[in-house]
Chains A and B, each alone.
Chain A
Amino acid sequence: MSDLLENFANWESLQQIYPLLLQGLRLTIYLSVVTLPLALASGLCVAILYSFGNRVARIALLVTIDALRSFPVLVLLVLIYYGLPFVGITFSGFWATVVAITLNNTGYFGEIFRAGLLSVPVGQYEAAAALGLGRWHTMLLVVLPQAVRKVIAPLSGNALELVKTTPIAALVALPELLRSAQVAQEQTYNPTPLMAAAAIYFIILWPLSRWVSVLEFRAIARR
């Protein structure tokens, strides 16, 4: 038992490597803070285009959404980071990760917003038109607020999943939290840094995760 503690929760190792972990944590937060709004915005754009589009545009957008949802995000990252330099386009590890996660989540968020927009009754559009509101005003002032309220649960769930995909940046050697922990492990020769990184992820994400569980539970109970 004390052997296990010595390995998995070694106080000296922790003191030695915590600056590295903090630095990694900062990058993880930065990565999430940049990517989440980008993915939300592009998902919303796709969904709004869908609701304004004609039949052809709708089919094209649906195919785009499904294709983006079909790629594992790591495949997108590898394509961008290792594939694009062959035609002279080079992204840093940070921006490659941002682009990969944004593209992937454009599909997910696009699908969620699309479902939300579809759930708003036609009467709302008609009422807005009767009040003399234009297309964009109808969308922004009448439809969107109702649509977003209906999909808060899947939106938060997906936001959590997005933050949870940021460790893939470790695979393109970006020193975010996971990568920092791996580097630290090579210095301490015990898994304490990895355990500490996992603990940090858990402490930060658990409140959101718990809240998403509650929302999901309510959504099922209401069916």
Chain B
Amino acid sequence: MNRIVANYFNLSVMRDALPDVLHGFGITLLVSVCVIVLGLVVGLCLGVLRLTPLRPIRFAIAVYTDVFRTLPQLVIIILLYFALPYANLTISPFATTVLALGGVLSAFAADIFYAAILAVPQGQWDAAKALGLKYPLILAKVILPQAVGLAIPLLTNRAIAIAKGTALGSAVSLPEMLSTSQSITAIIANPSPITLAAAFYLLLFIPLVILSRRIERHAHGEQHRAGARR
């Protein structure tokens, strides 16, 4: 028991490691926020753009979403970081992680937004047209607000799952929380910093996981009530 405490919950070790781990936590947080913002914005744009009747554009978007949905996140990160320099494009670990994970989230979000837009009943389009609204206005004021409501429960789950991938940045030496705590552990031969990092991950993601459960339950509740009305 003492051995476990001394190794994993060594308070003096944790106190020494805290500033560095906190710095890593800041980077983890920053990358997560960038990934979510980039992923959702690009995903929304692609989802809307996919409504176009132009086939080449629809095809290009489908290829993009399928590639990013299918390849493992770590493979995309490694590919961006270690392969792009051969095409004379070198990007920082931070940019690599944000672009890779943001790309993955945008692919999932594009599919979700697209499906949600199509799920809005045709009558809504017709009614808005009958009111004399122009296409961009119909989309922005009538269709998207309803579609986003449909998309949110699915998006929160995806966004959280992908934001957790920031730890993968350690593979390209991004100084985020996991790699920071791991290198301290390697130096002082005590894994308490990793425990500390794990605790911070819990602190960051448990509220989000619980929130997503709430949102999902809320969405299902609405569904049941809607069903009862019919």
Which A residues fall within an 8 A CB radius of B? 4, 7-8, 66-67, 69-75, 78-79, 82-83, 86-87, 161, 164-168, 170-171, 178, 182, 185, 190-191, 194-195, 197-198, 201-202, 205-206, 209-210, 213, 216-217, 220-221, 223
The answer on a CB contact under 8 Å between A194 and B198 is no
A19 to B120, CA, bound (A): 51
Is B74 engaged at the interface, CB distance under 8 Å to the other chain? Answer: yes
Is B16 engaged at the interface, CB distance under 8 Å to the other chain? Answer: no
Q: Which of B78, B165, B166, B202 lies in contact with A67, CB distance below 8 A?
A: B202
- Which residues does chain A contribute within 8 Å of B65, judged by CB atoms? 213
The answer on a CB contact under 8 Å between A70 and B69 is no
The answer on a CB contact under 8 Å between A7 and B167 is no
Is B3 engaged at the interface, CB distance under 8 Å to the other chain? Answer: yes
Q: Given A87-B4, A202-B71, A206-B66, check contact A220 B119 (CB 8 Å).
A: yes
A118 to B194, CA, bound (A): 36
Q: Which of A75, A87, A209, A223 lies in contact with B198, CB distance below 8 A?
A: A75
Report the 6 A-B pairs with minimum CB-CB distance, sorted nearest first: A191-B83, A70-B205, A220-B115, A72-B167, A72-B164, A83-B191
- Which residues does chain B contribute within 8 Å of A67, judged by CB atoms? 202, 206
A74 to B67, CA, bound (A): 23
A201 to B73, CA, bound (A): 11
A194 to B78, CA, bound (A): 8
A168 to B168, CA, bound (A): 8
Q: Given A66-B210, A194-B79, A198-B75, check contact A78 B168 (CB 8 Å).
A: no
Interface size on B, residues (CB 8 A): 56
Name B153's closest neighbour in chain A (CB-CB). A223
CB distance from B147 to the nearest CB of A (A): 10
Is B209 engaged at the interface, CB distance under 8 Å to the other chain? Answer: yes
A209 to B69, CA, bound (A): 7
CB distance from A207 to the nearest CB of B (A): 9
Q: Given A164-B72, A216-B111, check contact A82 B78 (CB 8 Å).
A: no
A44 to B118, CA, bound (A): 34
Supply 29 A–B pairs (Cβ within 8 Å), ascending by A: A8-B87, A66-B206, A66-B209, A66-B213, A70-B202, A70-B206, A70-B208, A71-B164, A72-B167, A75-B194, A78-B178, A79-B198, A82-B182, A86-B8, A87-B8, A164-B72, A165-B72, A170-B74, A170-B171, A185-B82, A190-B86, A194-B79, A201-B71, A201-B72, A202-B71, A213-B65, A216-B112, A217-B111, A221-B119
A73 to B168, CA, bound (A): 9
The answer on a CB contact under 8 Å between B167 and A75 is yes
The answer on a CB contact under 8 Å between B197 and A75 is yes
The answer on a CB contact under 8 Å between B185 and A82 is yes
Q: Give the residues from 184 to 230 in chain B that come closer than 8 angstroms, CB to CB, to chain A.
A: 185, 190-191, 194-195, 197-198, 201-202, 205-206, 208-210, 213, 223
A201 to B210, CA, bound (A): 33
The answer on a CB contact under 8 Å between A72 and B201 is yes
A-B contacts besides A167-B74, A170-B74, A201-B72, 5 pairs, CB < 8 Å: A8-B87, A161-B161, A164-B73, A195-B79, A198-B75
Is B154 engaged at the interface, CB distance under 8 Å to the other chain? Answer: yes
Q: Given A83-B191, A201-B72, A209-B70, check contact A72 B209 (CB 8 Å).
A: no
A93 to B4, CA, bound (A): 22
A119 to B22, CA, bound (A): 42
Q: Given A8-B87, A75-B198, A75-B201, check contact A167 B75 (CB 8 Å).
A: yes
- Which residues does chain A contribute within 8 Å of B69, judged by CB atoms? 209, 213
Name A209's closest neighbour in chain B (CB-CB). B70
A70 to B161, CA, bound (A): 9
Name B113's closest neighbour in chain A (CB-CB). A220
A223 to B115, CA, bound (A): 11
Name A71's closest neighbour in chain B (CB-CB). B201
A70 to B203, CA, bound (A): 9
Q: Given A164-B73, A213-B69, check contact A191 B150 (CB 8 Å).
A: no
CB distance from A145 to the nearest CB of B (A): 21
The answer on a CB contact under 8 Å between B201 and A223 is no
Name A85's closest neighbour in chain B (CB-CB). B191
A78 to B186, CA, bound (A): 12
Name B207's closest neighbour in chain A (CB-CB). A70
Q: Which of B79, B151, B167, B210 lies in contact with A198, CB distance below 8 A?
A: B79
